[in-house]
């Protein structure tokens, strides 16, 4: 860390209308100019650390990051939307306490923060050249020139660039016309690949839910009735006709038998009269 920041022990910060924190007072006003001096809050610091993670495969140096910032913890309130911060020696990456971090910009051209900006830009360019197949490789100069133009536009409008936005401009940078989400390796499978999905990958249905679905009359399709009509319209095979005849015979057997009319008995004959002697 630069010697010029060694005696900076505390600072008072305020919450701006843009919901960012800005420095109002410092313990070393001789070396530090508070005009437009911004500070990163704990939430923003955590987000920046997350953005730096993908750069570890491209040479990101955590020590350079920590050397570029001076960590502070909240000491007490200092008025409306103002708090007093006390300097600490904790690591921004390892501390369990929520820390504010102030970029060491006393020497804004050759200081540790300037070194970090250059380092992050180089790492980001390596990542982009690895992810996208540019016609010609992206260069650090091209990225720096584009980012510088955006900052100059803000200065012309009289807007101070917050250090968090400056860092995100590098860590989120993607050339116009390209999007990391559209990178070929991350694209969703084509529609024709859907047929190759294994049944094992599909969500399972509990037995209880399956029974509930079967019993729900609202989920029965009209096709069920059409299938039934189609089944009746199909010509029956010989075996089916025989089966129907057997069923008819069985039905006849089940019916109660009709009583046959009984034959009339012959009338008894009268004995013939006896002849006289």
The 10s digit of each residue's pLDDT in 97-154 is: 999 999 999 988 889 999 999 999 999 999 999 999 888 999 999 999 999 998 888 8
Assess contact for 101 and 70: CB atoms under 8 A. Answer: yes
Q: Is the pTM of this model over 0.85?
A: no
Residue 35, pLDDT above cutoff 60? yes
pLDDT at residue 203 in the model? 41
Assess contact for 81 and 18: CB atoms under 8 A. Answer: no
Q: Is the dihedral of CA 42, 48, 50, 55 positive or negative?
A: negative
- DSSP reduced 3-state for 127: helix
**Considering the domain boundaries, does residue 268 fall inside one?**
no
CA dihedral 117, 119, 122, 123 (to 10 degrees): -110
- DSSP reduced 3-state for 66: helix
**Considering the domain boundaries, does residue 185 fall inside one?**
no
**Considering the domain boundaries, does residue 136 fall inside one?**
yes
162 exposed, middle or buried (CB, 10 Å; 0-12, 13-18, 19+)?
A: buried
Which of 60-74, 84-98, 223-237, 250-264 comes out lowest in average pLDDT?
250-264
**Considering the domain boundaries, does residue 83 fall inside one?**
yes
Q: 59: which residues sit within 8 A by CB, 6+ positions away? A: 122, 123, 126
Q: Look up residue 58 and give its DSSP letter.
A: G
- DSSP reduced 3-state for 49: helix
Quote the domain boundaries for residue 94: 8-175
How many domains, the chain? 1
């Amino acid at each position: 860390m630069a010697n010029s920041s060694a005696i900076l022990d505390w600072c008072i910060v305020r919450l701006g209308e843009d919901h960012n924190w800005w420095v109002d007072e410092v313990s070393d006003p001789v070396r530090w100019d508070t005009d437009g001096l911004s500070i990163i809050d704990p939430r923003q610091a955590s987000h920046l650390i997350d953005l730096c993670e993908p750069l570890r495969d491209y040479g990101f140096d955590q020590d350079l990051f920590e050397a570029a910032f001076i960590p502070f913890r909240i000491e007490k309130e200092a008025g409306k939307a103002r708090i007093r911060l006390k300097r600490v020696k904790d690591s921004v990456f390892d501390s369990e306490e929520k820390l504010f971090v102030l970029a060491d910009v006393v020497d804004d051209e050759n200081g540790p923060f300037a070194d970090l900006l250059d380092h992050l830009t180089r790492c980001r360019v390596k990542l982009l050249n690895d992810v996208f197949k540019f016609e010609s490789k992206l260069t650090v100069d091209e990225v720096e020139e584009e980012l510088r133009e955006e900052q100059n536009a803000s200065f012309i409008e009289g807007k101070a660039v917050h250090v968090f936005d400056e860092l995100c401009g590098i860590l989120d940078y993607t050339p116009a016309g390209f999007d990391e989400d559209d990178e070929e390796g991350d694209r969703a499978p084509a529609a024709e690949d859907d047929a190759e999905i294994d049944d094992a990958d599909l969500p399972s249905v509990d037995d209880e839910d399956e029974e509930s679905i079967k019993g729900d009359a609202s989920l029965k399709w009209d096709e069920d009735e059409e299938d039934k009509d189609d089944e009746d319209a199909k010509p029956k095979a010989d075996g089916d006709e025989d089966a129907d005849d057997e069923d008819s015979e069985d039905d006849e057997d089940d019916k109660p038998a009709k009583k046959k009319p009984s034959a009339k008995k012959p009338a008894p004959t009268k004995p013939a009269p006896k002849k006289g002697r």
